[in-house]
Structure 1
Amino acid sequence: MRRKSNTKGKIIIAVIVACFSVSYFFSWKDTVMREFVYPLQYDYMVRQYAYEEHVEPALVASVILVESKFDRTAASHRGAVGLMQIMPDTGDWIAEEMNLSDYQPERLNDVRTNIRMGTWYLAYLLKEYEGNKILALAAYNAGRGHVDSWMKQYGWKKDFSKIEEIPFSETREYVRIVLLNEKQYNQLYGF
């Protein structure tokens, strides 16, 4: 008889410990998510340039997370640099469009310059594709030329919504992940 009541006691204690552990985890979950999964370094600059360019700060933060994981020294094998992974030729074009007379390509390594130019470019793409995030993000990743040719080749309109139809698997995954991360940034940081 004692064994049964002893087992019940152990079960009750295990349930209490489990409940406490779950409660403790959930009280720290958002902190852990912000710190390790969805960081927001350079918060002020992300928000400032996003608001200036009328882009959701969560979208900018998500692009940075996917492009560089907030590593300001990130560089791709293709030559893209900085937090928002801007190609030097694209940087030259953006600087010209933004009328940045003092621009030099090495400034893409500067955090402020990179976020400012990358956010401007993201805003440009969103305008170009009439607010369609899927097309704008696909263009950010694969280039406007590819997206424009896909629109022509496949008859896509500006209301395109079928991520699975994007021909490049890397670009498909990029768009999916950025949009998923954007939701998480909105929830965690209340943009």
Structure 2
Amino acid sequence: MRVKGRGWIFLLLLAVVAALLAKPTARLVYPFPYRSSILHYAGQNGLDPLLVLAVVRTESKFYPLAESLTGARGLMQIMPETARWVAGRLREEFDPERLFEPEYNLRLGTWYLAYLIREFRGSLPAALAAYNGGSQNVEDWLGRGVWDGRSASLDKIPFPETREFVRQVLRDYRIYRFLYPEPGR
């Protein structure tokens, strides 16, 4: 395309405006609700708050009263049995109804996610697979060589739901890092 005269200035200006509007528009689709709580509990557990945000978006779409068919509850979709175990590790009282409270859910969920990342020696794909599909299953897959724990081989995860969960969280995490390069602001 050949631009005559000062038309190139208009096209350049249009490109700049489009770039400036892209992030604010994308932030409507990828919002950052519960910001202060996510920042607090992610920081307390040594997690990137944008990773927590990606998990919450994938698990509950930010709906605190979400409950899965299997009984997972709240923002981070924690199973009551898992939450009971985490609460015990934190020496905190357990109440399954409180899993619908954002603060309580984020406190337990971020601790559990950080625990899984440590358990799987920093492998984020393996930790996310364990978060969704269970630690024992992931340990079994890794031990038997069914899956190597890498994001490059997600197709090898035997559970379709877990495979898609890991893919979606990793995708959303990349998007959130682009949209919110300074999450504390």
TM-score (norm 2): 0.86
The residue aligned with 1:87 is 79
Segments of structure 2 that go 5 or more residues without pairing to the other structure are none
Among residues 106, 112, 115, which one is paired with 1:115 in the alignment? 106
Q: Which residue of structure 1 aligns with residue 48 of structure 2?
A: 56
What one-letter code is carried by the residue in structure 2 that aligns with 1:134?
Answer: P
Q: 2:142 aligns with which of 143, 146, 151?
A: 151
Whether 2:39 is the aligned partner of 1:47: answer: yes
* Aligned position for 2:25: 32
Q: State the distance in 1 between where 2:146 and 2:71 align.
A: 32
Contact residue 65 and residue 100 of structure 2 kept, 8 A: yes
1:124 counterpart SS class: helix
Residues of 2 paired with 1:69 and 1:177: CA distance? 12
Over 3 Å counting, the alpha-carbon distance change for 1:155 and 1:73 in structure 2 is closer
Q: C-alpha distance in 1, partners of 2:35/2:65?
A: 17
CA distance in 2, matches of 1:72, 1:17: 46
2:58 partner letter: V
Give the 3 Å change call, closer, same or farther, for CA 155–28 of structure 1 in structure 2: closer
Of all paired residues, the percent bearing the same amino acid is 40
- CA–CA separation in structure 2 for the residues paired with 1:56 and 1:16: 40
Match of 2:162 in 1: 171
The amino acid that maps onto 1:77 is L
Instruction: Provide the secondary structure at the position in 1 that maps to 2:68.
Output: coil
Please give the alpha-carbon distance, in whole angstroms, between the structure 2 residues aligned to 1:65 and 1:31: 18
1:156, distance to aligned residue in structure 2 (A): 5.5
Q: Distance in 2 between the 1:153 and 1:18 partners? A: 57
How far off is 1:95 after superposition? 0.6
- 1:126 lines up with 2:138 in the alignment: no
| Aligned equivalents of 1:74, 1:188: Cα separation in 2 | 25
Q: 1:119-166 CA deviation, whole Å, 9 max, x = no partner?
A: 000000000001100100000010111111112222666x64422211
**What is the alpha-carbon distance in structure 1 between the residues aligned to residue 135 and residue 47 of structure 2?**
18
Q: Is this contact kept in 1: 2:147–2:157, CA < 8 A?
A: no
TM-score (normalised: structure 1): 0.84
Which protein has the larger Cα radius of gyration, Structure 1 or Structure 2?
1
Distance 1:169 1:184 in 2: 22
**Residue 173 (structure 1) shift:** 1.5
The CA deviation string for residues 94-123 of structure 1, in whole angstroms up to 9 with x for no partner, is 1111110x3211111110000111000000
- Structure with greater helix share of residues: 1
CA distance in 2, matches of 1:24, 1:43: 27
Please tell me the root mean square deviation across aligned C-alpha atoms, in Å.
Answer: 2.4
